[in-house]
Amino acid sequence: MPELPEVETSRQGIEPYLLNQTITKVLIRNPQLRWPIPNNLTKQLKGKTIQAINRRGKYILIQIDKGNLILHLGMSGSLRISDPETAFRKHDHFVLTINHDKQLRLHDPRRFGAVLWQTGNPLKHKLLSKLGPEPLSEAFNTDYLYETNRNRKVSIKQHIMNSHIVVGVGNIYASEALFLAGIHPKRAAGRISKQRIEKLVAAIKQVLNAAIKQGGTTLRDFVKEDGQPGYFKQQLNVYGKTGDLCLVCGTPVKQIIQGQRSTYYCPQCQR
Ligand SMILES: [Zn+2]
């Protein structure tokens, strides 16, 4: 599933081809995504100039005139810049032609992605309006996370994966950040000292920044016809490493299920 670093890499990958360019054609090859693609979209987009490409959480916001095209990659979505002559792939569901000579194609085999429109401020869209702060922003800091933790009995892993608390900390990055901070994933959020929360905030920023940096090396893949753009695995310490020896203490990495998702941790290093 594309996580925040993949979405940010996708944003950076498509930006140079879209910014200040004109949309000359809109093609909806299959409107049945997670929600139907609005049928007035062509009217909103055709002939308009793209003014900015932003990201909020895992949503890509393409700013046009008086509104924003909102894209979400769902479980299996990816974006690619193609020449219009290149044959479509089976799951290329949504296509924007840019200046008659390039196309942005949304490919999504499982169709959990979304293509939406919001007139005016995109952050007022109901999917975006209640999101917590961006993890890499100043607003996500020790004081903030400590305050949201107060008296919470929910596990710290589920707490940091809650998009109302902070956006974009997916399963991989939650496991890795808790390992770096030495915090047991099942520990109640409200029972962690401020000092340890400070470590956790730093660890979340560190793992996400490292993944985005790694993703930067894949940017040219957005215009290659072979290979899948924007997906990458950074060096992981615990995620997917059940039974491997912890690189710090040599204890076998454990796997448990929390909220229907696998969690990986070192039972010795994480308390
Ligand atoms: Zn360990």
Q: Is CATH 3.30.360.10 what the domain over 4-124 is classified as, yes or no?
A: no
State if pTM tops 0.75. Answer: yes
What percentage of the chain has pLDDT greater than the value 70? 93
Structure confidence at residue 109 (pLDDT)? 93
Structure confidence at residue 134 (pLDDT)? 98
Which residues, 6+ apart, have CB-to-CB distance to 212 below 8 Å?
5, 8, 9
Nearest residue to 61 (alpha-carbon basis) of 77, 48, 50: 50
CA–centroid distance, 154 to ligand 1, in Å, is 24
Structure confidence at residue 231 (pLDDT)? 47
Structure confidence at residue 232 (pLDDT)? 53
Domain boundaries, the chain: 4-124, 142-265
CA–centroid distance, 185 to ligand 1, in Å, is 14
- At 5-45, the pLDDT tens digits run 889 989 998 999 999 999 999 999 999 999 999 988 999 99
Mean pLDDT of the chain: 92
CATH class of 142-265: mainly alpha
CA–centroid distance, 171 to ligand 1, in Å, is 19
DSSP structure class, residue 38: P
- At 157-200, the pLDDT tens digits run 999 999 999 999 999 999 999 999 999 999 999 999 999 999 99
Q: Which residues are catalytic?
A: 2-3, 58, 261
CA–centroid distance, 265 to ligand 1, in Å, is 8
**By the 8 A CB rule, do 188 and 249 touch?**
no
Average pLDDT over residues 139-151: 96
DSSP structure class, residue 252: B
- At 229-239, the pLDDT tens digits run 444 556 789 99
Nearest residue to 187 (alpha-carbon basis) of 267, 117, 248: 267
Exposure string for 155-183, b = 16+ CB within 10 A, e = fewer: bbbbbbbbeebbbbbbbbbbbbbbbbbeb
249 pLDDT more than 60: yes
CA–centroid distance, 196 to ligand 1, in Å, is 17
